[in-house]
Amino acid sequence: MGQTQSSISENNNVGAEYEHLKHQKGGFRLRDELSNLKSDLDALMTRTSSITEKEAREAREKIISRFTSAKSAMKDFASETGQQVHEGVEHAADYVQKRPVQSVLLAAVVGLALGALLRRG
């Protein structure tokens, strides 16, 4: 019964952790998920010679869950990044439409600066 109680408690912790992670920003969530996955894999590797078949199954399920969470975090991060890029492109297009002369001058300055940097490298 102690093992069952422990499993229920662990499942509740995983659920609370998932809810917390849903509200984090994409990049931080992804970093945390990958860090958690690495920790779980490191812990499993140090215990591989002394674990039972049941513990191995539980570890496998936990790692699969971590991979699923990391995959979800990567999708969220990619979506968030894509949205930010799209907003940046829209902002740049608006700026160019409102200030065409300044935009051309800015592009020329940036081009000259990049050209100078590339010639040195």
Q: How far apart are CA 56 and CA 47, in angstroms?
A: 10
SS3 sequence of 2-46: HHHHHHHHHHHHHHHHHHHHHCCCHHHHHHHHHHHHHHHHHHHHH
Give the per-residue pLDDT at 20.
Answer: 53
- Using the predicted structure, report yes or no on whether residue 27 has a pLDDT greater than 80: no
Give the per-residue pLDDT at 101.
Answer: 95
Cα 112 to Cα 3, 81, 89, 99, 109: the distances in Å are 68, 29, 22, 20, 5
Half-sphere exposure of 5 (CA within 13 A, CB side): 2
Q: What phi and psi values does residue 24 have, to the nearest 5 degrees?
A: -80, 155
pLDDT confidence tier of residue 9, bands split at 50, 70 and 90: very low
Give the per-residue pLDDT at 89.
Answer: 95
Q: Which sequence spans correspond to the domains of the chain? A: 2-120
pTM value? Answer: 0.53
- Using the predicted structure, report yes or no on whether residue 105 has a pLDDT greater than 90: yes
